[in-house]
Structures are given as structure tokens and as C-alpha cells.
Chains A and B, each alone.
Chain A
């Protein structure tokens, strides 16, 4: 099962190396990791996606806690949360196929951010399902380059949220 961890860390030099090093050293695999500072410049927030069973996650959680720079870890997988990822995709687009691509961009509420003579560069945000679907629909055109930020996630403002609410919001995005 995939788990989403929200990890608050002190914004010190080397903190990323400490966290990443711990993963590789103890044989934990990172699916994705996104990091940036929070509203408090002394604190950074990492969103880490990992795959593993409960025992694996428990051990990972405890090992992460041993790092002095790690302030708080929340496994938000089973809570109601909003998650987003931003992806840039450069896709082959000769004149004949541009309209088709632009239609897809519309359907997925993506945006064209750069137009080249033979390519279009598209920005799309969303959750993993949406992004994968978009990527698959563009694949036949020829994807030249693709970068993902990694997922960032945040708990919803109220705890009563169910999976349902979560999904609904995702569709609207």
C-alpha cells in the first residue's frame, strides 16, 4: 500500500541529505519526495510517498523520528487530505495534430505554457490518477520530456471528511 507522509523538519543544511540517506541506508524506497519551506522559514515540510506494509511504515516512522532535525511526522494516508502534483509535459505537436491536443488540454483543465514550432509544453496539476490519465492520453502524440514535482499534500480543514469528499474535490480540480 502507498503511504503519504507529511514530515516537518528543521530547515537546516543537510536535513535533506539526512532524510534521504536514512531511506537508502535502511532499504526504504521513496516513491516521491517534495520539499519546500513552510510559512515559518525555520521549518520545511516534506511530502514523502512510500510503499510498504504497516510494519515497514512503523519502522520507517521510528527511524525518521530519531533524526534530531525531524520535528513531526504524520501518516495522512487514511485521513482526508488534499494532494496535488504539478507536471510539465513537452509533447510533439505538428500543425495537423495541435487541435486534438488542445482539446485534451481543455478536458483535463491543463494549460499550455509554451508553444514551439514542433512542440507544445503543457502544465497540469492534480492528483496521481488525473496526471496518469493525462500522460496516457498524450503518449500517442509523442512525449519529448516530462517532469513532475512530486506530490504535496495537506490535511483538510475539518476531520469529518470522508473519502467521498476527497474524491469529489479531486474531480473538480
Chain B
């Protein structure tokens, strides 16, 4: 019996299906046509975006919401280069993603052929790994490796560039073999000695503080984190990426730390004698001035990526390993250590310096966010764009569950929220999804509203419309003498725009209309865009001026 012959494209899809992928996000073009032809008969669901950047962010949002790898597909040249921001975004936030690009035929490579772009070269610094397929026989093995690399260890994007003649070639399909990557060690064993040392330091600590990052969410360590905090009665502060990794309503929770953190979180960092960093990477938006960060503290740093340890700050007790595993081991040896004085101090700070905003006659952006929380009882999946609205969302929507806050942290990509919301809704069809957006950012991938309409994805876009690139305006106000250089926006009529796309458009200009509009949007089960006309010149406060110490907060 002769073995079955399949095309490279068929093998590609078969291999993707073998990874239990049922949905991909893509956009076709010449060099991807063989793959699209195979998709025509395939069981894989394909969501057609309206721009490859949107396609990549949708795959990213899908991955963050579900924990499964996101897959995106684009053609060569401009299709591939349009993916670049999306790949960089996934890289910075450690999102498992496999990006597949069509490429010119092997014989045309390197000749500046039509729609040729060296996408493996272009993306080298922003992928975890990449492949240019040179031989159809390797295809099945490469796909298997790509998913393995993208999803294990510290997750990240992996690119597979497939020349179109490879997709077209017909070969005998052979099952991929075992994965053999001698240079890849995704999950290092935890050293018991480090666990002991950490337990010792914790036992001696009078003022412990847990600083939790995205690693908690990625490794699914939220229950362990909760146990740890309660066992030690240790306050917990989260990074932007860590929000949702610890219940926002918990009395030990201090909110976010860093540039736009709460005062009490930043004070706690300055005063603690032990900082337990869990799946966080001491980003400069978190630490402020490095020299004065956590000046009184011993530092325990738990992370799966050894390169994060000691990268930005000196660490006393490094523990390399999967956060969930490490916390489990730590919990097994720890004894409760309830220091009351420290807790009381923190509660006093919480009372004295709460997050606050002044009501004005206008709609306050913070109020809209709080009402979204109230109406969804904190059960919505929230994406954001980038700017003031993003920071207010982090501050005023109380995230209680992991994977409920999906935002572009490391890269800070305006235009992320809408396509990400599409990916989230595809992955979580029965949940309420909101993109909390700015009037500037929403225009960066507004075309994806059409995707939502096309696939009947009932996402809600809440534009906090201040008529400005608000965060830029705020910095200009505070650090550039109020010289508002090119930060004021002339905007389209968002209601008409929504309607033109076939979505529901609602404009809200009065405070009392906020709740009814939100209710109507949630009930409609259709894609909705609400244009909230909010206070124009509100600021995100408190703020640690860039490069300053965390105790130098303004506002």
C-alpha cells in the first residue's frame, strides 16, 4: 500500500490540528494561497481580520484569554511586515503565539522578488524562535517544535515562514518524531536549597510584601499566590500584567505599584523588609529610579526565565522555576507568620491615601469604568488600548480573576484592544467582553469592528473620548510646560462610524446616561461602540515622574 501523498499546505494544517488548534486568525494573499486553498476543506475555523496587525492582536487576545496558543496567518511581504507589531507585542508580554507567513518560492528567495520580505530576519529580535522552511519533509516536525517552544517555559511567539512552493509540493506524510532540542531547557528544576533560603528569609521578615507579575497569570498560580499571602498575611501588589492574578477585593490587596500605582503600594515597596517578586521583571515603569527601589528590602525573585534574575536589580535569593511549582514547594515548608504591626500600618495608609478623583459636572472616565465593573459584577473580560483610559482601567476596575484583564503591557501598543477583544470573544463566546478605549487608540485598528460584525461577535467598545491623546497631553502638561504639541484630536463621528460598519453606535454625553447605555450595550448581544464624551483634561494620578523614586509621587 503506497503512503498517502499530501501537499505541504495540507501537512501544515494537519500538523496545526494535531496541536489541538481549532481556530486561527488570518488574512490571505498570493504566497499564502496554497494554505488558504487547503483551509477551504479543513475543519479549522478561520477568522478573517481586516488588517494583519489586527489578526496578530486577535490571536494574542485569544491566547491570553484562553491560555491556549494563538495562531495567526498572513501572506509574504506586506502581510508579514504588518504582523510585526503584533508579534513584538506578544513577545514583550510572553504570549504563546505561532505566526505563519507565506513566503516567495525557494528559488526566488534573496532576489527582491515581488512581495518578498526577509521576515525571519526582520523579526529576529522579537520572536522566541523562528523557522524558514527549506524542505517540505521538515514541515510537520517544525510545526510540532514551534508549538512546543511557544507554549513551554516562558511563552512567546514563534514564526514559521513557508515558501509557497513548499506549500504546493506533494510529499508522503510522515508523523513527526520526538522533539529533540538540546539547547532548549524550558523548565529548570527548582533548587531545594533556594526554597529553604527563601523560607528562612520569610520566617525572619517583619514587613514582607509580595510583588506579583504576569508570570502568576501565565503559570496559573493564582491559588498558590492567595495561599501564600494569607499564610503570611503579606500584602500583595500587582504589576499591570499581574492584575487579576490576585483578587482585587481582597483586604491584603494593594492595587498596582509603580508609575501609576497606588500610594500605599508604593509606600509598601519603600518600607518593606522583604520583597517577594513572583513572575515579575522589575520593569522601569514599576521600579522608577532603580537605586532607590525597595531600599530596605531583601529580595526574593521567583521567575522561570533565569535571564530576568539580576537583570535590573540585585537579587538576594533567586529561585528559577515555574511560579506555580515554586510557590507550591514554598507553601509546603512555610509556617504562618502574621505580623500585625505591618498590616496595621498598611491599612492606615490605605485609609489615608485612597485612589480618588474629583467629580465634575461632566462624565468622569473613572466613573464609566466603575460602572462597567458594577454592571458586569466584575465578570467581564476587559481589554484596553493604551493611554490614560488603560491606566484608569487598571486602577478602577477591580480585577478578581486571572485572564480577565488583557492589555498591552510591555510594548504599550495603541490599537491592541479592539482586535484583542475579538480574539477574546472568539475564545470565550459566552462571556461579556469590553474594550475600554481611547479616542486616539481606537482609530488605530478601527477596521476590526467589521470583523466583529462579520462574525457576530458581541464585543462592547467603550470609548472614553477626551478629544486628546490624553496621556501625551498629560505629560505635556506636567513635564513640558503645557505645550500641547500635536496631541489634540479631531475625531470622526464614532456613532455613525459604528453604524457604517453595521455595529450599534451610542453616544453618551451626560452622567445619568452612562448606566442605561452600558445596560443597553450588554443586552444587545451585538457589537456595540459607545462614545462617552468625558472630562477633557483629567489626569492619571498618582504619578511617579519618570526616573524618580517611588516615594516621589505627585497627586
Contact = CB atoms under 8 A, between A and B. Distances in A.
A59 B310 contact: yes
Contacts of A25: 125
A82 B128 CA distance: 35
A69 interface: yes
A55 B184 CA distance: 23
Nearest to A22: B125
A163 to B, nearest CB: 29
Interface string B273-307: 00000000000000000000000000000000111
A71 B306 CA distance: 16
A71 B181 CA distance: 8
A25 B125 CA distance: 8
B149 A65 contact: no
A161 to B, nearest CB: 28
Interface in B172-186: 181-184
A125 B443 CA distance: 63
B129 A68 contact: yes
Contacts of B183: 9-10, 65, 67-72
A129 to B, nearest CB: 33
Contacts, number: 41
A55 B132 contact: no
A14 B120 CA distance: 9
Contacts of B125: 21, 25
Interface size class of A (residues with CB under 8 A): 20 to 34
Nearest to A42: B182
A168 interface: no
A18 B124 CA distance: 7
A63 B125 CA distance: 12
Nearest to A43: B182
Contacts of A63: 307
Contacts of B492: none
Given A13-B132, A71-B182, A58 B124 contact: no
B516 interface: no
17 contacts: A9-B183, A13-B132, A14-B124, A14-B132, A18-B124, A21-B124, A55-B310, A59-B307, A59-B311, A65-B183, A65-B306, A65-B307, A67-B183, A68-B128, A68-B181, A70-B183, A71-B182
Interface of B: 120-121, 124-125, 128-130, 132, 134, 149, 181-184, 305-307, 309-311
Given A10-B182, A14-B132, A25-B125, 9 more contacts: A9-B183, A13-B132, A14-B124, A62-B307, A68-B128, A68-B129, A68-B149, A69-B183, A71-B182
